[in-house]
Amino acid sequence: MKIKCGFEWHVQIDSGKLFCRCESEIKENKDFKEIERYIRPSFGETGKIDASAEFEGQKMKTIVYKLFDDTDCLVDIDEEPPHEIDNKALSVGVEMSYALNSYLLKNLIFMRKTIADGSNTTGFQRTAVLALNGAFKFKDKTITIDTISLEEDSARKDSEDENKAVYFLDRIGIPLIEIATGIIETDENEAKEIAMEFGKFTRLFSVKRGIGTIRQDVNLSIEGGKRVELKGFQNIREMDKVILNEAERQKNLIKMKENFSYLIDNLSKDAYSVKEILSHSDSNLAINAIKEGKEIIGMPLPGFKRSPW
């Protein structure tokens, strides 16, 4: 199926951690220490509190971090300022930028992306744009590279429930190269081939290998549809199937929209109170609205199945 898509590739660099001199290895043993934190939103440099941070803070969820002696330090738990950037990580980023024929920026300025789910002990991710306007060759196509960034990876999730989230800190701070492409007109099979070819390209550099070391986000849409981001591809073998499923979903939504347009044009203008009917439902939204004295109005929609009420 014809689609428009763009990739964001996140590649772990095989070096020390980005802002400290700890090892960047994923630990499988259970010899760890634990600390507990809570998300407490604070005012940013604009004088406002980030909406997502405020929302997460209201949950009062306990965040548990598991630390290992040889991969984690005070920088990782936000008890010490970041050190100088890892030279090897920077060198690999520069090498990849040149290989992709991109324009390397003269100054590297790290920014903060708000991360409010607890996967970053700081509450944000440090990221810097390294290069712009590159190109990646695939068969007879030239795929534009919009940005190449250097950033730190987040913590590795162990478990989560309503009251607590648990993370391992061995992954936090591992250097990532983020490469974002421009729009590509293609299909699901070629998109998979492009991703596989890029994976081969990364092996020319000092990057980590194995499941989870390259994560791919795919932004895609079809004609008449909206852009949807499919996050965190790790098993590239399933990429074409997932892309096709999303394209089919958008295609069906477009058909539904056309059907709804016809129904709306022929919609009855009659409206009725359904407060009494919904007072016996198990919908908290409806029950709370009724308790607050609000009215609930319903309209007949032709073409829909009759309500089980």
Domain boundaries, the chain: 2-257, 271-309
* C-alpha count within 13 angstroms, C-beta hemisphere, residue 225: 23
Q: What is the DSSP letter of 169?
A: S
The per-residue pLDDT for 69 is: 87
Pull the structure tokens for residue 265.
């044009």
The per-residue pLDDT for 249 is: 92
Q: Could you give the CA distance from residue 118 to residue 35 in angstroms, rounded to a whole number? A: 13
By DSSP bridging, strand 184-187 and strand 156-160 are unpaired
Q: Which amino acid is at 106?
A: K
Portion of the chain with pLDDT greater than 90, in percent: 57
The per-residue pLDDT for 146 is: 96
pLDDT per position as a tens digit, 148-206: 999 999 999 999 898 899 999 999 999 999 999 999 999 999 999 999 999 999 999 99
pLDDT per position as a tens digit, 44-67: 778 888 888 888 888 888 999 999
Q: Which amino acid is at 233?
A: F
Q: Which amino acid is at 164?
A: K
The per-residue pLDDT for 303 is: 67
The per-residue pLDDT for 195 is: 92
The pTM of the full predicted model, rounded to 2 decimals, is 0.82
Residue 309: is its pLDDT beyond 80? no
Pull the structure tokens for residue 260.
């709804």
Q: Could you give the CA distance from residue 154 to residue 217 in angstroms, rounded to a whole number? A: 16
Residue 259: is its pLDDT beyond 80? no
Residue 14: is its pLDDT beyond 90? yes
Residue 102: is its pLDDT beyond 90? yes
pLDDT per position as a tens digit, 111-156: 998 888 899 999 899 999 999 999 999 998 999 999 999 999 999 9
Q: Could you give the CA distance from residue 178 to residue 149 in angstroms, rounded to a whole number? A: 5
Q: Could you give the CA distance from residue 297 to residue 13 in angstroms, rounded to a whole number? A: 57
Average pLDDT over residues 261-281: 81
Picking from 32, 14, 31, the residue whose alpha carbon sits closest to that of residue 23 is 14
* C-alpha count within 13 angstroms, C-beta hemisphere, residue 176: 24
Mean pLDDT of the chain: 89
Q: What is the DSSP letter of 215?
A: E
The per-residue pLDDT for 307 is: 56
Element (H, E) at 106: none
